[in-house]
Structures are given as C-alpha cells and as structure tokens.
A and B are shown apart, each in its own frame.
Chain A
Amino acid sequence: MNITKAGYHGILLPELNIGFDYSGTNTRYTFISHAHADHMPRNRQSSVYCTLNTLKLMQRRGFKGDATVLDFGDSIETDKARITLYPAGHILGSAMVYVESDEGSVLYTGDYRTPPSPASEGFSIPDQVDHFITEATFALPIYKWDSHESLGQEIRSFASNSLKNGYTPIFLAYNLGKAQEVMYLLAPLGHQVQIHSAGYKLCDVYEEAGISLGNYEPYDRDTCKGKILITTRSALNNGFASNITNKRIAYCSGWATREATGKQLTINKLIPLSDHLDFFELIRLCEELNPQMVHITHTPNADVVQHYLDERNIESRFLDIEIEEDD
C-alpha cells in the first residue's frame, strides 16, 4: 500500500485515488476527518466527504464547497475500495476513515480520543487494520489523562468555588470542541454560561445533535460578571472580560499538563482536559490492533512512539505532518 504525505497537510493513497484531510485537487475522493482548521480543506470550494456534523461545523467556519455526507458505519464503494467512517471521539462529527481494498486495509484516525469525549458521538474502531495512520499529539509518557469523571468534577468545583468566593470563573478552551465539552461538563451546575462569539455560533450544532450544553448565551461584556465564561487565550489577551477585576482563570488543554504553561499564561488553574488520546492509550491501541505498519503523524516526538513500538515488534514509520498549536 502506498501512503504518502501531501506537503505538510494531508495524506494520500495515490493508487486508490483517496485523500485524507487533503486540500489539493489530485484525488477523486477526499475525506475530511473533522472541522478543526488544520484538517479542514484549505480551499473553501473543495468537494469532500465527511459526516453531517462535520459539514455543519465547517460551514459555520466558512466552508462553501460541496460535501457528500456519510454516516458512521455506512460505506461508499469505489472501483478499488470500500470506505467507512468510524466515530473518533475527538469532537462532534469527528471521524476516522477506514479503507478496505485488495492492497489491504487502512485506518486514518485524524484526531481522536479514547475513551471518547462525552460531547462526541463516541469511539469505535474496526477489528482488522493493516495500515494504522495515527496522530500522536501527546506522544510522551508524561501525558496520562485522568478520567472524564474526575476532570468534570475538577471543572465543576473550580467554577462553583470561584463563584462562591465572589470570582467570575473563566475557562480557556479552544472554541470548537473543547469549549462545548467544558459546557457539557458544567451543565449539571445549571449556572448561566457566556461563551465567546466564535464558539457560540457552533453550539447549536451540538444541541441539534442531542448534546445539551446547559444554560448559555453569547458573551456580553456588560453582563458577564458572575457568569461562567468560556473563551480562548487570544480573546482573553484582547480585552475579553477585562472589565472584571475578580476573576479566576482555568486553562483546559492537554498542554495544561506542563507547570510552565500556568506561569506563561498567568492562569489560576491548569486542567489537563484533552481531546486527544494520551500516550499510554496510544501504545495500548497499537498493541490491540497489531497492524502491519503504524504510520505516525502530528507529533514532535515520533521517535519516542517508534521506540515503544519497536520494543513491541510493531513496525512503524513517521509521516511528518505539522501540528496545529491549539489542542
């Protein structure tokens, strides 16, 4: 099976005429795994295959092209292959692309999370994979996530303790996926949430998909005091809630594992809530699938993953694809 990278973004299966998260025009079938900027087609007019939720989210973020919607579990057949989408557990709509052909099978993960984000369609994976093309964003053994249950608890107590002590809690979370996951985890508190506009416009897609985000409204500078606020780091640096003096800030990201992150960003609380799987889950999954070849993408530390896979007699190689800053 020939698997190549398409520049710094996207992966191609040239013989099968298939591209994954690919922005060019050299393939007949392009599959988009999810609506984060580093995976969406750069060309807004592209013609692609994706899930309905991914399409809706992409459209709200400016995508104008054609998309053929494919449900999880449904397949399309080309003359050389059969393609099926599997839920990736990363954000709403996120899919892994499974390709079966005479040359063998390929699973392209895009970004994924197992155990899945509770604000996603879940996670499931085919039994048999020859070529496993996996992201490895958090590919070091310093990254090991707590359960969603305890992270959710941490998020809720941060919010309620801040409110109790007269502070306005602010969660820094990427505006697609993490923001909604945090809202979903906060929903049981029943407290009013305000979310930055870039994230707000994506929330109804979640609601339509049956994921309740609680009691929320768009951010309003004049009324945000005493609400639970959700925004991004860049918005916070550009005056978001700058009129509120008593606030406490939590940063929700896999990168929050690093102590230095808190100091760089002047943050009160680091909550390592990631929408990627951790290192140990990655190695375990490779062991379970035991594919002919693991193709590692989206990581500065492919060497470390390869070292662990070598020890387990699993063949691997690095497909050098740049990774986006936001988690």
Chain B
Amino acid sequence: MAEHSFHQLAETAQQINETRSANAKISYCSQYFQSLGNEEDLNLAAQFLGEGAFSSISGKRVTIGSRTYSTCAADFCDIDYEKVFKPCKTALGSASEAIEKLMHNIEAAHKKREPAQLSLQEIESIYEEIHSVSSRADKQHILRNAWKQMTPVEIKFFIRIMTRGSLRIGFETKNVVAALAKAFQKEIDEVRYAHMITGSIGKTAVLCKKKRLDQANFRLFHPLPFMLASSIESRAINNLDGYIAEEKFDGMRAQAHVSGQQVKLYSRDFNDSTHSFPEIVQFFLTKDLPDVVLDGEICVYKDNEILPFQLLQKRIGRKKPSKDIIEHYPVLFISYDLLYHDEYPIFEKKLSERRNLLTKLSQIHNLPITNQFDVEDCDHLNELFERALAHGNEGLILKEVDSTYEYGQRRKSWLKVKKPGGTLDTVMMYAHADSGKRRGNYSDFTLGIRVAEDERYEEEFVPIGKANGRYTDDEMKRLNERIKDLTVEKYGPTLGLIPEIVVEIEFDDIQKNKRTKANYSLKLPRFKAIRRDLSPEKTDTLKDVERMYQQNIDKERLKQEKNPSFYIKQEDPETSTR
C-alpha cells in the first residue's frame, strides 16, 4: 500500500480510534508521519488529521450539509433515505459511521466501488472541486465519483475531514503536535510555538521534517489562532488568586493587524472581515501605531453605551456598509490583548506583561482597552458580574495573570462567567428516543411555546427548542412512564405527546430564526425544572418570547461612565480597580 495514499491515512486514523492509550495513539500517528516521504504529503496528512479539508488560515471551508452527503450515500447504496438511512444514523449517532457501515455491508454499494488508492493530493483536489460548486446536485455528483474510488473507512474519514468537525478518534490538534514532536525528535513546546506562529499544522509538520522550526516566523497579516475561554462551571476552580476579571462583551471577536497604512481585521474563523468595518480601519490609521496585532472585540457603541449583538449583526458579513448603516450602528474595536509588539510576537509572555505593554500603547495612541479588575473575593466578583450585566455585557472573563496566549485551548487560563439569558415555561411536545444501548429511554425533548390565542397560528403550541432532560435514573424513569401515557403518535424514534408536561427551561439568548415555525430559536436551551405546579395553559407564549427579544435590545444599559467596561485613556489605577 502506498504510504502517501489516503487509504493509509484513513487506516491510521482508524487504528488511533481503536486505541485507548494517548501515548499509543501518538506513536501510531508519529510512525505514520515518519513514513511519508515527501513534504507535500506530510503537509496534507497533518492538515487532514489536525485541521480539516483546508488549512485553517486559508479561511476556506467546504460547505456541505449532512443531508447532502447523507442522501447521496443512501442513493449510492440504493436504500431509502427516510425509511432506512435515517434509522441507521439514529442507531449509531453518526451519519458518517452509518455511511461507512452501509458502504461495507450493502452489495449494491460494493459493486459500484473500486478502491483506487487515491493520493492525498487527489483528495485535496476533490475538496477543492466541491468547494468550487454551489448546487447540491453538483456536490453530490463529485461525491459519488469520489466514493466510487474509496473503501468504506476512507469514505468515513473523507466525510469527517470535509465537514471539519472532529474526526472522533480521540485525537485533537494538540495530539497531532505531540505526534510531530515524536516523529521528528523535537520538543513539544518548539512544535507548538511554530504552530502558533504559522497557524498551520501542515506547515508546522513540514518545518519539523526539514529541521527548520526556527524558520517559523511570524508574519503580519497572517492571523494567529485565537485563545478561547472555558465556562467556569466546567472547571473545578477553588481559588481565584492569580486571576483578573474583564467584562465579556457580546460582540464579535476579532484580531487586528496594523502596519503602516495597512489594517486588517480577522474573525475567529480567520476570515478577513476588514471591509465590513471601515471606520475601525480609519480609526487605527489615524492613531499612528507601530506594527501591532491586537486581540479584541468589535461592538456597536453609541452614546456611551455598548449595544446588543443583534444590532452588530446588521454589520457582520456586509461587504460595503452604507453611510446610513454606519451612522446607525457605529462600531468600536475594544482591545484586550496584544500579540505582536515592537517587531516581535509576544504571545509567550505572561498576560501581566502583555497587558502592561497594551496599557502603555493605549495611553500613547488612545486605543480603547478593556478595564481589568482585581478580584478580591466572591462578593466582589458578584458585584463586578452584576455591573457587567448592567452594562449590557454577557458577564465576565477571568484570566490567569501568569498565563501565556495559547491557541484554541479551553483550559483554566481563561474562564467565562455568564448569566443565563432567561427562562421560559414550555410544554413537552415530542420525546426523542436515545439511540443504541439506552434506547427505549427518552431524554431529548422538543419543547413548545404556546400560540393558542395567537391569531397567526392554528395550533396550540409550536416548537421553540430542543433540550436534553437527563436527570437521575429515578426521575428519568418516572418521566418516561408519564410519557408513555401521554403518547399519541409515534414517528420512528420520536413520540408525539399530549401537551401536558410543563418544563421550565433556561437559555443563553433568543435569536431570530426564519427557518423555524416560531421564527425564533433559543441559544443553548436546557432543563431547569419540571413544573408539576403549572398547567399547560399557564405556560409562556410566543408573544412573551418576542417581548423578551425586544426587551433585550431595548434594555436600559448602564452608560460607560464610572467603572466602565473599557476605557480609552488610562484613569487613575486606584479608582479603576474598585
């Protein structure tokens, strides 16, 4: 088997998947990297395993929906999509795994396939080809031809790489970094640094092989990977010593590169968003800055108030905003980190040092930067949190002062503290069966909002969100018994219920969503309580949802005056921390 074949990559990924020990996984991957003779193959192999179909910094991605490749696969296997494919997908909890198994098991699919040991380059061209067309039929045509030349395992990983989700083999980018270090006898830190600079795992791999890691040079206008925060609930933090707090803006995360007369703004997915925000470009150009890279947030800012994300949406993705739009929704870039300064990348410096440099820079050039607060105790944290909310912000970000700026990692270095967007009393409309081992059990539910007195609707309830209600086994059992009694219809794994059970749900935000019956959807809905004390007639209505949405937009926001979320000129540090 040719080392450079995609088949070899898929088999390696499968072997990694079937191995539990992290070290053994890294060994398999590093042996594979060593086996690759040429640099282009190594580049692609690392990219496919660590990033996806295209390099992250390219900003390119294959846009293809699961329905597009799933119906294509059903067709390829001569099976009915609704009646056969969907139950298979439900049973496995994965469309790509269902496709792998069906391609393997079904005679009709076997006959069509003649594995051709496609090379990594050929796979890349197939991704390019899919990227270049837009209609579903065109994409499916390309898929069909590609699959004809692949084995089932290749097809599975081809899909997972294409959709840029996880490969689901328990092997993340940081493991690919470790595998590269092992394969080419480098220090992990060295490899990680090169990855941070290049923003590309493929390039990093090639530099490892060529023994040229020292050539990983930062270049302006090549976005650096963003550091991310984890939610404070997900981490056991006993002690807030060593953390500072900043308010968490409800804006658009962005990286600004400034050099001479050139300014670029990159969004979190490395897309160049400069054209959407001409006044930010103008702002930076008038400040006479040295070459810098700033990490920060773009927010709509007007009359000393930070306005909600919903208004910023009118700016995002707009190629050329009109004068009118700019006037109505003026934006500001609020910096909170400095990544390149004085001709050197500084992400390996501690936050406290980066912050000092950022503060100085902002004083000299009048840049808006976040206000940082020392956290004294829990009461103080609550006070800060409440004020952040009053400002119209999402909550707080806690940052470890000694932490370096690391790509991606959601560890303890940055923690977000957020408040739920609100709660609603809803009614259980559908119960969805768990797949596989827990089947027969229902713990996912579609929740409905009342529209009984709503002249726009004929039904009593329309779906507003889907949430998981996994409770203790006992509660689950009780709930499932109740569901049995309330079931009126059965659609495969889904039960239609008499609207009886009232569920109070909590969510992060309400968004407009034209593709739903309610025209609104909830961000991160989750169970708060089953309200046995409430009858379905007493639940919240769609009009309540609309009111909440509007209220969030109209809500009084604390002006940026005393103890602001950010400031432009440094205040007396004594007053700014309390």
Point out residues on A near B: beta carbons under 8 Å. 140-144, 255, 257-264, 266-270, 280, 300-301, 303-304, 307, 322-323, 325
B83 at the interface (CB under 8 A from A): yes
Query: Which residue from B98, B102, B106, B433 sits with its C-beta under 8 Å from A300?
Result: B433
Among A258, A259, A260, A267: residue with most chain B CB under 10 A: A259
Q: Is B88's CB under 8 angstroms from A142's CB?
A: yes
Q: 3 tightest A-B contacts by CB?
A: A142-B101, A144-B105, A307-B83
CA distance A307 to B80 in the complex (A): 9
Interface string of B424-451 (1 = CB under 8 A from A): 0000000001001101100000000000
Query: Which residue from B88, B93, B105, B106 sits with its C-beta under 8 Å from A260?
Result: B93
B241 at the interface (CB under 8 A from A): no
Q: A141-B102, A259-B97, A307-B80 are in contact. Are A322 and B440 (CB under 8 A)?
A: yes
Q: Find chain B residues with CB under 8 A from A325 CB.
A: 437
Q: Find chain A residues with CB under 8 A from B440 CB.
A: 300, 322-323
B564 at the interface (CB under 8 A from A): no
Q: Find chain B residues with CB under 8 A from A262 CB.
A: 18
Give, as a whole number of angstroms, the nearest-CB distance from B203 to chain A.
31
Beyond A140-B88, A307-B80, 20 additional pairs, beta carbon < 8 A? A140-B87, A141-B84, A141-B101, A142-B102, A143-B105, A255-B436, A255-B437, A258-B91, A258-B97, A259-B17, A260-B93, A260-B436, A261-B436, A263-B170, A267-B20, A270-B18, A301-B87, A303-B83, A304-B87, A307-B83
Give, as a whole number of angstroms, the nearest-CB distance from A163 to chain B.
18
CB contacts under 8 Å to A, within B384-438, are 433, 436-437
CA distance A276 to B496 in the complex (A): 31
Q: Is B437's CB under 8 angstroms from A141's CB?
A: no
CA distance A304 to B105 in the complex (A): 16
Q: How many A-B residue pairs have CB under 8 A?
A: 70
Q: Find chain A residues with CB under 8 A from B330 CB.
A: none
Q: Is B84's CB under 8 angstroms from A307's CB?
A: yes
Give, as a whole number of angstroms, the nearest-CB distance from B267 to chain A.
32
B134 at the interface (CB under 8 A from A): no
CA distance A267 to B20 in the complex (A): 8
Q: Find chain B residues with CB under 8 A from A300 CB.
A: 91, 433, 439-440, 493
CA distance A301 to B97 in the complex (A): 18
Q: Is B87's CB under 8 angstroms from A303's CB?
A: yes
B94 at the interface (CB under 8 A from A): yes
B112 at the interface (CB under 8 A from A): no
Q: Is B92's CB under 8 angstroms from A260's CB?
A: yes
Among A255, A257, A260, A323: residue with most chain B CB under 10 A: A260
Give, as a whole number of angstroms, the nearest-CB distance from B83 to chain A.
5
B492 at the interface (CB under 8 A from A): yes
Q: Which residue of A lies closest to B14 (CB)?
A: A259
Interface string of B513-538 (1 = CB under 8 A from A): 00000000000000000000000000
Q: Find chain B residues with CB under 8 A from A280 CB.
A: 105
Q: Which residue of B lies closest to A138 (CB)?
A: B91
B131 at the interface (CB under 8 A from A): no
Q: Which residue of A lies closest to B98 (CB)?
A: A142
Q: Which residue of B lies closest to A142 (CB)?
A: B101
Give, as a whole number of angstroms, the nearest-CB distance from B46 to chain A.
23
Q: Which residue of A lies closest to B21 (CB)?
A: A268
Q: Find chain B residues with CB under 8 A from A257 CB.
A: 101
CA distance A140 to B94 in the complex (A): 14
Q: Which residue of A lies closest to B85 (CB)?
A: A141
Q: Which residue of B lies closest to A260 (CB)?
A: B93
Give, as a whole number of angstroms, the nearest-CB distance from B112 to chain A.
16
Q: Find chain B residues with CB under 8 A from A269 CB.
A: 18
Q: Find chain A residues with CB under 8 A from B437 CB.
A: 255, 261, 264, 325
Q: Find chain A residues with CB under 8 A from B105 CB.
A: 141-144, 280
Q: Is A260's CB under 8 angstroms from B94's CB?
A: yes
Interface string of B89-130 (1 = CB under 8 A from A): 001111001100110111000000000000000000000000
Q: Which residue of A lies closest to B491 (CB)?
A: A303
Q: Which residue of B lies closest to A301 (CB)?
A: B87
Interface string of B486-498 (1 = CB under 8 A from A): 0000001100000
Give, as a whole number of angstroms, the nearest-CB distance from B220 to chain A.
42
CA distance A264 to B435 in the complex (A): 13
B361 at the interface (CB under 8 A from A): no
CA distance A301 to B439 in the complex (A): 11
Q: A260-B436, A280-B105 are in contact. Are A142 and B94 (CB under 8 A)?
A: no
B381 at the interface (CB under 8 A from A): no
| Subset of 6 A-B contacts with CB under 8 Å | A141-B88, A142-B98, A142-B101, A268-B19, A301-B87, A325-B437
Give, as a whole number of angstroms, the nearest-CB distance from B13 to chain A.
12
Q: Find chain A residues with CB under 8 A from B558 CB.
A: none
Q: Find chain B residues with CB under 8 A from A267 CB.
A: 20
Among A257, A258, A262: residue with most chain B CB under 10 A: A258
Q: Which residue of A lies closest to B168 (CB)?
A: A259
Give, as a whole number of angstroms, the nearest-CB distance from A229 to chain B.
18
Q: Find chain A residues with CB under 8 A from B84 CB.
A: 140-141, 304, 307
Q: Find chain A residues with CB under 8 A from B357 CB.
A: none
Q: Find chain B residues with CB under 8 A from A140 CB.
A: 84, 87-88, 91
Give, as a whole number of angstroms, the nearest-CB distance from B142 to chain A.
25
CA distance A293 to B104 in the complex (A): 30
CA distance A41 to B561 in the complex (A): 77
Give, as a whole number of angstroms, the nearest-CB distance from B481 to chain A.
13
CA distance A323 to B433 in the complex (A): 14
Q: Find chain B residues with CB under 8 A from A263 CB.
A: 170
Query: Which residue from A141, A258, A266, A323 sits with its C-beta under 8 Å from B20?
Result: A266
Q: Is B91's CB under 8 angstroms from A141's CB?
A: no
CA distance A302 to B170 in the complex (A): 34
B227 at the interface (CB under 8 A from A): no
Q: Which residue of A lies closest to B80 (CB)?
A: A307
B79 at the interface (CB under 8 A from A): yes
CA distance A98 to B384 in the complex (A): 76
Q: Find chain A residues with CB under 8 A from B101 CB.
A: 141-142, 144, 257
Give, as a whole number of angstroms, the nearest-CB distance from B468 to chain A.
16
Q: Which residue of B lies closest to A253 (CB)?
A: B437
Q: Find chain B residues with CB under 8 A from A270 CB.
A: 18
Q: Find chain A residues with CB under 8 A from B168 CB.
A: 259
Q: Find chain B residues with CB under 8 A from A322 CB.
A: 440
Q: Find chain B residues with CB under 8 A from A264 CB.
A: 437
Q: Is A144's CB under 8 angstroms from B104's CB?
A: yes
CA distance A255 to B84 in the complex (A): 18
CA distance A325 to B434 in the complex (A): 13
Give, as a whole number of angstroms, the nearest-CB distance from B216 to chain A.
35
Give, as a whole number of angstroms, the nearest-CB distance from B145 to chain A.
23
